[in-house]
Amino acid sequence: MDGIIILAFFGILISIAIMAFWIPQLVDLMGRRDDDFPGRFDKLVWVAIIVFIPLVGAIAYSISRKPRVFTDRASSKLEQEWLAIQAARRKSSPTPDQP
């Protein structure tokens, strides 16, 4: 009876480890644009492979995917807005030379 409990425990641990690898791969795939894939249905095929063959599909996807290139548009836009606000403050605040 103890062997069954130990086997169940290790089965649960292995399942958690597989899901800890599988879920981020699926999230990465879903977060990519369709333009990142060469074919029209490539993203759909990868989703099917990862969902129906979880461990093998996730490993194959992680090996074959292109590295994600972040353009970081949001941070550059925020930086531009911040610089514009600072410039406006400098223009509106009096300098020590002015009374």
The pLDDT score that the predictor gives to residue 39 is: 81
Q: Does residue 20 have a pLDDT over 90?
A: yes
> Which of 16-25, 43-52, 69-78, 84-93 is the least confident region?
69-78
- When pLDDT is averaged across residues 23-36 and rounded to a whole number, the result is 87
Q: How far is C-alpha 61 from the geometric centre of its chain's CA atoms?
A: 14
Residues in Cβ contact with 36 at an 8 Å cutoff, skipping those fewer than 6 apart:
43, 66
- When pLDDT is averaged across residues 65-86 and rounded to a whole number, the result is 70
Query: What does the block give as tokens for 43?
Result: 């993203």
Q: Does residue 73 have a pLDDT over 80?
A: no
Q: Give the model confidence (pLDDT) of 41-61 as tens digits.
A: 888 999 999 999 989 999 999
